[in-house]
Structure 1
Amino acid sequence: MNGDAMLKIDAVLEEIENYVAGASRMPLVDRVMIKDDELFHLMDKLRQELPREVSDAMEVCRRRDEIIGAAQTESEQIIAKANAEAEEIIEKAKRLAQKTVDEHALVAQANEQARNIIEEANAKATEMTKEAEAQAGQLKEAAESETAQMKADVEHYANQLFDHVLANMNTAMTAIQNHAGGIVNAMENIHNDVGGAMQAMQQAKEQIHAANSRS
């Protein structure tokens, strides 16, 4: 889990707790005086930190396609280069074979030499192509393995991030309720606001899981 991200989120949650804990108490009753606009400002500040981390997690998912695409392109280039070299070898062999036929008086012997040259060239070209395809396959397999690990790491990171934030938001709500039990209307607004944020976070978590499952 990204330590800096957790520190930012925890810092905002701590601001909320400290604000409620440090609010002025009303004499003779177990109540505190809270400015709801200040509390809502802190809640907005928390929301600003969350999407940034969710966006970072989605960016890692997006890079998966880039890695596989780069590996596929490199594989195709290797095979194309091997095919081009193989064709060049075969053409050189054909020219050499024709030259051999022209230079030898015994046509049958010259033709046999030409066939041998072409067969050797074809065998070498086939071997080069197989080696290129094997190398391309290894590159693709390595890229798929790396992206599979990245996908698992992203989902693990997202789960840790959301679970941590949800747990801390519940703790913050409990602290707010303990220190501000008498302000019913304000608490209902805060509860609805936090509940909406928690629901949005849960939906984002499910979307990341679904995106990884489709990949």
Structure 2
Amino acid sequence: MIKIHAHRGASMYAPENTLEAAELAIKMNADAIELDVHLTADKHIVVSHDGTLGRCCDGEGDINKQTLEQLQKYNFNNNNAKYQFCRIPTLNEFYDLVKPSNLFLNVEIKGDCGEIEPYLADLTKQFGMVERVLYSSFNHESLVKIKELEPNCKTGLLYGDTIPDIVNYCKKQGYDAIHPYHGELTSEIISECIANNIMVNPWTVDNTEDMKRLYSAGVTGIITDCPDVAREVLNSL
């Protein structure tokens, strides 16, 4: 069954990577919430795409140089007038949100390899979410590291440009999925990956024609800013 990953929550409509965006995605029948994680100065895992403040909030500076208490004073509503104040969430809060449901989380690991992974592995195990988390990253070493810490976890390789012989590369590194840019993804790569039990979840798919093409080509999921549209298109096929 094709899974719809809500990219940073329902970020087409609500401030990205907030609990508000995640709750909206759940109402829109998403199968998964895609989110990004960073480590604070006091070693809390927070959900934010950028490691530097300013684009989505009224704060300044780097996340890894500020405490959780400092970060939670800022407004992360991304200038969306529908949302008066949005606080930066922790990964703990996302786990609490989805645990009673059937949703899973697509957790994109940001930052330098080697620091956040032990905290991630411990927190995910603590919440009993190992089977319901798919770790993804553009930092390929980070995926190897998290797999070493938690051999039962699933990992997805994020990339933009084409990677030669992607199936053998995934097998060699132990990746469970590829998360390529959708414009570079061919039906041949999809078929080869599926035949080798490698999941294919392209990003970021917001155009309905792209959705139809990828659904028909056999992807296991899509990562989208508009999960409601993705669901409507999927139901129409």
User: What is the TM-score normalised by the length of structure 1?
Assistant: 0.22
- Structure of greater relative contact order (alpha carbons < 8 Å, 6+ residues apart): 1
Task: Return the structure number with greater strand share.
Answer: 2
Task: Return the structure number with greater helix share.
Answer: 1
> Highest CA radius of gyration, 1 or 2?
1
